[in-house]
Amino acid sequence: MWSGFAALSAALRTASDGDVGALDAWSFCAAAIAPIMLVSIALLRSARSGAKALGGDDLGGKLIGVAAWLLVMTGALARFGTVLREKTHHHALASATFSLGALVLGVIAGLLATRLVLWVSASQANKRVAGAIVAIGALLVFRELAHGLVALDPLTRAWVVDVTISSICAVFGALTPAVTKLPARLGWLALAALLVAGWAGSSARELGPRLSEHAPLQGAIRSKLP
């Protein structure tokens, strides 16, 4: 199911001009990443269990701290890199400056995140406030990154979009509780049907070139098939 959601963007781009059927494009794009999604979800579920054992009763507070650290680092490094690219013409000097700046920013952001975790752990009200602030910060950072996507070439933009969507779907899949035996068997049957449909759709002559142009992840997998 999650591979189907993750493949929607790639399938829509592949079938955008009508040379390839939308169902053929979607079935192959979903089937191509289904094994990757299965492994990713399994690993994330194992990591979730390990995090619960490691985090104890206050796992939520620690996750908020980690999320805040990631957001601060992403936003600060993106802005820092933009400034260096505009102001510095010596690439080696810019790279060294960016590496040193990233180290300093990582330490400062880590200290701030540690203080945030301590504050969040004090009460549930603090946790709700911090969660709301982190959510708003995530939206602002994603909006800033989305503006940067416009400057990328179409192929790189497709890579970034597809990997991001697949990662989000994998996280939601890992957060979904494990199903009982009967739904699990139905899920495996649906996966088998999807793989068969994807294999059948891969024989379309126009599919390979369209994938290479608009869905590079699936195109790389298609190039390895006979």
Compute the mean pLDDT over every residue in the chain, rounded to the nearest whole number. Answer: 75
pLDDT of residue 180: 47
- Residue range 9-21: mean pLDDT, rounded: 74
Provide, rounded to the nearest whole percent, the portion of the chain with pLDDT above 70: 71
- Domain holding 153, by residue range, is 2-223
How many whole angstroms separate alpha carbon 28 and alpha carbon 206?
Answer: 13
Provide, rounded to the nearest whole percent, the portion of the chain with pLDDT above 90: 0
More confident residue, 108 or 226: 108
Give the predicted TM-score (pTM) of the model. Answer: 0.60
> How many structural domains is the chain composed of?
1
> Would you say residue 34 has pLDDT above 70?
yes
> Would you say residue 134 has pLDDT above 80?
yes
Burial 200-224 (b: 16+ CB within 10 A, else e): ebbeeeebbebbbebbbbbbebbee
